[in-house]
Structure 1
Amino acid sequence: MKGGMGNMNNMMKQMQKMQKKMMQAQEELHEKSFEATSGGGMVKVVANGKKEITDMEINEEAVDPDDVEMLQDLVLAAVNDVIKQIEDETNSTMGQFTKGMNIPGF
């Protein structure tokens, strides 16, 4: 029975190491910057890994009072693209920790 406890302690230490690495990877991801453009660079959106928009640039040529819908579409396209980049990076980065663990949502 004593050998079983040693294995359990070993497993707990491994899990703690993995948890620490996961937290570090998540922190690095949150600090990372992502950028997307639309309309050939007419709209640029920058976000961090927490999915917070940190900057947006709109070329004045994209601002047409007679075609506000085009500008809205350009902003939506850039925002959706940057969010997809963040989600893809999150899945790639964090997925290495959950591979084979059959954890729902990962």
Structure 2
Amino acid sequence: MKDLNSLMKQAQAMQQKLADAQGRIAEMEVEGTSGGGMVKLVLKGTGELARVDLDESLMAPGEGEVVADLIVAAHADAKRKLDEKQAEVMREAAGPFAGMPGMPKLF
């Protein structure tokens, strides 16, 4: 029974670490850029768009399509960075259980 109790304690500890990791993820922010920094946007850890900054030179008439493309590219950059950070935090939280056969893929 000692082994079962030990296993249960380890599982509870891992569950707490994963919950803590999810909290850290929710608080993080990442910045994505495109157009050499002419477009910057910030995504929260939840994936919510928090801010968009546009270089004033993009406000010229006829630049709408370019601006739209740059915003999409900046979002893709930020999303990639967010996914990487989220995976890193979850791997750290899962510790030795990360990638263990039979464990659900969390990240």
TM-score range, shorter chain: 0.7 to 0.9
Residue in 1 that maps onto 2:3: 7
Q: Which protein shows a greater Rg?
A: 1
- Residue identity (%): 35
1:35 aligns with 2:34: no
Query: What RMSD in Å do the two structures reach over aligned CA positions?
Result: 1.5
Deviations 1:42-65 (A, max 9, x none): 111011111111111112211233
Instruction: Tell me, in whole angstroms, the C-alpha distance in 2 between the residues paired with 1:99 and 1:105.
Output: 9
Q: How many residues align?
A: 102
Per the TM alignment, residue 95 of structure 1 is displaced from its structure 2 partner at its CA by 2.4
Runs (4+) of structure 1 moved beyond 6 Å?
none
Show structure 2 runs of 5+ residues with no match.
none
Name the structure 1 match of 2:72: 76
Work out the CA distance in 2 between the residues paired with 1:40 and 1:104: 35
Q: 1:17 to 1:105 in 2, by over 3 A?
A: closer
Q: 1:92 — aligned with what?
A: 88
Q: C-alpha displacement at 1:105, in angstroms? A: 5.4
- The gaps in structure 1 that reach 5 residues or longer are none
Letter in 2 for 1:101: M
Aligned partners of 2:53, 2:99: CA distance in 1, in Å? 41
**Which residue in 2 is equivalent to 1:101?**
100
Higher relative contact order structure (alpha carbons within 8 Å, sequence separation ≥ 6): 2
Which residue of the other structure, out of 26, 40, 47, is the alignment partner of 1:44?
Answer: 40
Matches of 1:59 and 1:100, distance apart in 2:
43
Scaled by the length of structure 1, what TM-score is found?
Answer: 0.86
Equivalent AA in structure 2 for residue 51 of structure 1: G
